Amino acid sequence: MKLFRIRGGIHPDDRKQLAAGQAIEDLPLPALLHIPLQQHIGAPASPAVRRGQRVAKGDLIAQGQGVISAPVHAPTSGRIMGVGSYPAHHASGLSVPTVTLQPDGEDRWGDQIQGVADPFALDPDEIAARVGAAGIVGLGGATFPAAVKLNLRKKYRLHTLVINGAECEPYLTCDDRLMREQADAIVDGIRIVAHALGVKQIIIGIENNKPEAQAAMAVAASIDPTIRLARLPARYPMGSEKHLVQTLTGRETPARGLTADIGVVVHNPATAFAVHEALRFGYPLVSRVVTVSGGAIAQPRNLRVLLGTRVQNLLDHCGGFREEPARLVSGGPMMGQPLPSARVPMVKGSNGVLALTAAETSLSQPMPCIRCASCVQACPCGLLPLELAARIRAADLEGAVRLGLMDCIGCGSCAYVCQANLPLVQFFNYAKGEMAARGRAKQKQAETKRLIEQRAARIEAIQQAKREAMAARKREADAKKKAAATTQAATAETEV
């Protein structure tokens, strides 16, 4: 199919050969699972179990709260050891609400697990409800609740479903292996998603550095004439949702808008596989495929990991380290987050664990910007990273916003080509966070002002009511006095 050129982008050494040849294997059951209640964008789930409770695999252990949320299920059967706090799978290392589960070794599914014989006989609302109940979120890393995306059909006129099989981040091969090994199941999940969205066109985009995945998906997709396979150039950040849609359709998503604004919804192959598992068999999302790679890893692998498994268990299964890593990263090296330690648990959005050597990490000291404009050429969003960084360093965050800061996707292409080794992505992330904090503070001030005004209006209304009541009583008393005086005068006149 015809592809459209997008601006910017880079061609980093993908280093996928480290793990691409390794078939997916199941990680053995760990001694303990630490399952965070916040594994998705939106409100955290609320615990639905108590200490000492026995649970089966797939049992609900935390209920989603609100529209943008997702439930959490037991990854295996066992006993709840506690509901407390545990370090998060996040660079901060802060503790978050977590359910600790001790596996019993039986890995027994609960009795309530039941699939649907024909998912295509269900109406879209029922499919979305089942996907939501299964706790499925975007497994490409965004972790947006999948059921919310399925319900976009109610608000937008959708016509195309795009499956993002680009997996453009270096090192990561979990989607590649999943598409090779589970192509039929993924296509089934894709068709179920398309049925729920009511779209008539499906495009599967896979980069050309994954020929085996392209071949497997092409064969599996041949059963449905509405599915087209797009062979994408290996170029970072091809996996960016908006840039992928522009490459495939030639249409640009509005600034700070959704691809749904132009009639397109994007899902990940792993998400489609999870939908297949949920609808066909009734399995909630309790595990995911993870790439463990990097120059410091003794045996890079692709592992199917139960959610809540500590990163250390994955590292041990891969033979530990060849050498002490300079950095431990969750996700890819471009947009991933450094991990504070190997104690943290795996979550729904963690598609990779990288142990990078000093040679693989650019730890050179930053120098003054030489205004070579390499960052401008690399930026896929058409921004001016050098000007954004200058504004941010001068504390002119509003100026950075006017130059398009909020359109930055944080892909790191600018930092990759920066000859001065400037931490551009860190500048931009700091500025976004600061602007978000200012926005929250401003919103809080506005809300406080509104509440104060409401209170003042309420007090004034009460006082006004009191004044009116007092005036009414005074009028009533005056009327009584007047009536009494009139009566007394009339009596006196009669007596005379």
Least confident of 121-125, 304-308, 352-356, 361-365: 361-365
In tens, the pLDDT along 452-481 reads 999 999 999 999 999 999 999 999 998 988
pLDDT at position 251 is 94
Determine the Cα–Cα distance for residues 263 and 159; give it in Å rounded to an integer. Answer: 5
Top pLDDT among 27 and 67 is at: 27
375 is in an annotated binding site: yes
Provide the pairing of β-strand 78-87 with 54-55.
antiparallel
Structural domains in the chain, CATH included, are 16-102+115-293 (3.40.50.11540), 374-434 (no CATH)
pLDDT at 495 over 80: no
Q: What is the reported pLDDT for 487?
A: 83
491: pLDDT confidence band, cut at 50, 70 and 90? confident
- What would the pLDDT profile of 282-292 be if each residue is shown by its tens digit? 999 999 999 99
Please check whether residue 76 is in contact with residue 179, taking contact to mean a CB–CB distance below 8 angstroms.
no
Does residue 386 or residue 485 have the better pLDDT? 386
pLDDT exceeds cutoff 80 at 494? no
pLDDT at 382: 93
CA separation for the pair 133, 148 (Å, rounded)? 12
What pLDDT was estimated at residue 496?
Answer: 60
Per-residue confidence band for 255, with pLDDT thresholds at 50, 70 and 90: confident
* Stretch 168-177: mean pLDDT: 97
Return the pLDDT at 364. Answer: 79
Confidence of residue 66 (pLDDT cuts 50, 70, 90): confident
Q: Assess whether pLDDT exceeds 70 at residue 299.
A: yes
CA distance 244 to 165: 10
Helices (H) and strands (E) in the chain, counts: 13, 17
The percentage of residues in the chain with a pLDDT greater than 70, rounded to a whole number, is 100
The Cα–Cα gap between 80 and 103 comes to 9
Asked whether the predicted pLDDT for residue 72 surpasses 80, the reply is yes
Tell whether 174 is in a known binding site: no
Name the β-bridge partners of 304: 26, 289
Q: What is the pTM of this model?
A: 0.89
What's the rounded Cα separation, in Å, for the pair 324 and 286? 31
For the segment 431-439, the average pLDDT, to the nearest whole number, is 92
Which of 78-82, 377-381, 471-475, 487-491 shows the lowest mean pLDDT across its residues? 487-491
pLDDT at 182: 98
381 is in an annotated binding site: no
Do the beta carbons of residue 187 and residue 221 sit within 8 Å?
Answer: yes
Position of tokens 């108590």? Answer: 50
Is 168 annotated as contributing to ligand binding?
no
212-232 average pLDDT score = 97
Mean pLDDT of 52-71: 95
pLDDT at 92: 86
Contacts of 259 (CB under 8 A, 6+ apart): 162, 241, 242, 245, 253, 265, 266
Burial class (CB in 10 A: 0-12, 13-18, 19+), 43: middle
Residue 372 is labelled as binding a ligand: yes
Residues 7 and 382 sit within 8 Å (Cβ to Cβ): yes
pLDDT tens across 315-338, in order?
999 999 999 999 999 999 999 999
Would you state the pLDDT for residue 456?
A: 95
Give the chain's mean pLDDT: 94
